[in-house]
Structure 1
């Protein structure tokens, strides 16, 4: 099957022109979707959740990734574990999707029972010669990076995850995500290919005309502009903004807050970018008035003016602010359907109605996600049109899309397509 897919997909990869969007079939075809799941969601590191998704021993959370399913749980000793959601008897799913509280993992089919550490504890009617030690649950490679859980389903995970781990360990430490809690969660099924979801997230060319709520706190100039097309007043504003940005970054770095951009985007397996972004307006948080949504700050944070530490990967994007964090993951469900799951985090002791107002906390990204879902659907519909042909990326505002498309082609090639 891989060889068949490879021979069919390879000509599509060949047709991609540098600086242009992908050929239509790479967004729309079923065989490409299945190859994408295999390459990018089974053989690469992906973000799947948070330590605070399973705060107590016995808490379990199931994530489905195409035909694969994994269980994120906290064992009796308080350690994070990740297992394949497959009974070692005849392959039955142990847990349903979503969250649950368990004392042991019990297969609903024949009652094979596993400890939270994965060892098989009970297998009825298997005879006295049956060796339980050979039938523990299959573990999944995972890393907790500052409280963010990344997994790789491959037996040989890419080693360059270490760069992400080194970079984010220090940057995420003050937010103490392991001791946060999920204040709210939403799920959207976007009617579009997962690559369009990622492309939409990696540019702000569209922000000023589509995201009025986000642009109160988000500065679209951060993501590029064409200086030759700006009038003198706008050019002066852009230059002042860049000077402010440079000075603010120097100040933050001098005060011990890592802020400069770190990128690993091409010629790599693990794709990520992080930078501390300036927040517009009141400068505190991504809320309707850019002031903090929670009076109780995250982790050990003592300041509300340290901007937005953003992080993205090929299936996620995150924003970490003094008062709260927003984490988003995507999972392809089909060539034209993508799950977008967003969580809003606050300090674990923050109380709704006393420390934070839920609407203020969530309204900006609820609106933004809805607007983006409409844009992705319109993009996918246009790519299905016979008139579609790959268009040129703006060198000023869409350079990251070119990087992503280049990385995508390279990783498909590296995996035999």
Structure 2
């Protein structure tokens, strides 16, 4: 990096060749990582969880993003709120990361006590003229989109999340996230930059040789392919996928399940994409036998063979909604070479483990796939650190969504590099 890192980053952005991967510093530089945390994760809507994470009054969840720590809590009136996890006395962090149940928010340092509405209720040994009303917790922007929780750390949050919610809530409503529960959560530290994690997620070029479990239910053709590169069997499979997609989409739409593709990954501040995709064989779920993992359907889903609604958001999430369960993913940067990938599996709130579903069967496809992806991200990071690395060309057929992610990232970074 040059002495003037801002000029250096601007030069890197300006000389990026369309259709090629980023230069190595975007994946390896601590300076660029700090810019990412400020310009991307500090100013955009970040997916952090689901309403069932804080299902009842007093349920709380703490999420750390870089140096920021955020308390998400359901208050006494049933509303979900978010606050900076910083005491207004001397700044102590009050609640450790993870989930808990609280009646009040109490700082362990000097016992300043806050209600679930964020107001300061108790502060011993202060002067008679001390105004508790001026020392409530600092709020964090929070938005539930159909039960998916997004926060924004900026003072002014991007308002186009309203447009995303208007489009997405009809897609999400049949799966009724608010009436699910978290059956399992898995945290995986991937040895790679957060952008490599997201790039890997945005394509299925790598799926065939690397994801034997995932490619049982999921068609790699749904993410693009080059017809001229397919052999006769591949062409037959691609045609089968196209026919299944058309017939399934018509059936789903008739049943009240929005399915058509909506794509705004690179033309909006709050970028997103959604589409309901067919599941192979039985067509019910992303399981090893493609049949439902949970016998109790979600929401208003009448036919378990409802395919898989995919939903991607910039900069850090992807989700799969099926008739029997939901899998959601968030990527949270740790440093320039490490990323936390947090996966949740949701089932109907009335489903009982061991009776209505088997946890191993519910989670085995994505547990295997997550580890495979982590291994791929790790070798990508190792390559980016090699002096021989130089940007390589994306496949226009299978890596178009990677290009859109990179374009979105560079545009947002350039808007926020002073």
User: Does structure 1 retain, via aligned residues, the 8 Å contact 2:92–2:107?
Assistant: yes
| Structure 1 vs Structure 2 CA RMSD | 1.2
CA distance in structure 2 between the aligned counterparts of 1:193 and 1:56, rounded to whole angstroms: 35
Instruction: State the SS of the aligned residue for 1:90.
Output: coil
CA distance in structure 2 between the aligned counterparts of 1:235 and 1:46, rounded to whole angstroms: 39
CA distance in structure 2 between the aligned counterparts of 1:221 and 1:41, rounded to whole angstroms: 32
CA distance in structure 1 between the aligned counterparts of 2:150 and 2:396, rounded to whole angstroms: 32
Give CA-to-partner distance per residue, 1:279-336, whole Å, 9 cap, x none.
0111000011000000011123222011101111120111010100001101000100
Aligned to 2:402: 401
- TM-score normalised over the length of structure 1: 0.97
* Aligned pairs for 1:13-412 within 5 A: 13-313=13-313, 314-412=315-413
CA distance in structure 1 between the aligned counterparts of 2:46 and 2:229, rounded to whole angstroms: 39
User: Does structure 2 retain, via aligned residues, the 8 Å contact 1:15–1:23?
Assistant: no
Return the offset for 1:89: 1.1
Give CA-to-partner distance per residue, 1:339-392, whole Å, 9 cap, x none.
000010001110001000111100000000000000000011011111111000
CA distance in structure 1 between the aligned counterparts of 2:240 and 2:213, rounded to whole angstroms: 23
CA distance in structure 1 between the aligned counterparts of 2:323 and 2:244, rounded to whole angstroms: 20
Instruction: State the SS of the aligned residue for 1:257.
Output: coil
User: Does structure 2 retain, via aligned residues, the 8 Å contact 1:5–1:35?
Assistant: no
Return the offset for 1:6: 2.0
Unaligned 5+ runs, structure 2: none
Unaligned 5+ runs, structure 1: none
| Match status 1:415 vs 2:416 | yes
User: Does structure 1 retain, via aligned residues, the 8 Å contact 2:180–2:348?
Assistant: yes
CA distance in structure 2 between the aligned counterparts of 1:339 and 1:357, rounded to whole angstroms: 26
Query: Per the alignment, do residues 5 and 157 of structure 1 end up closer, same or farther by CA in structure 2, a change over 3 Å counting?
Result: farther
Return the offset for 1:5: 4.1
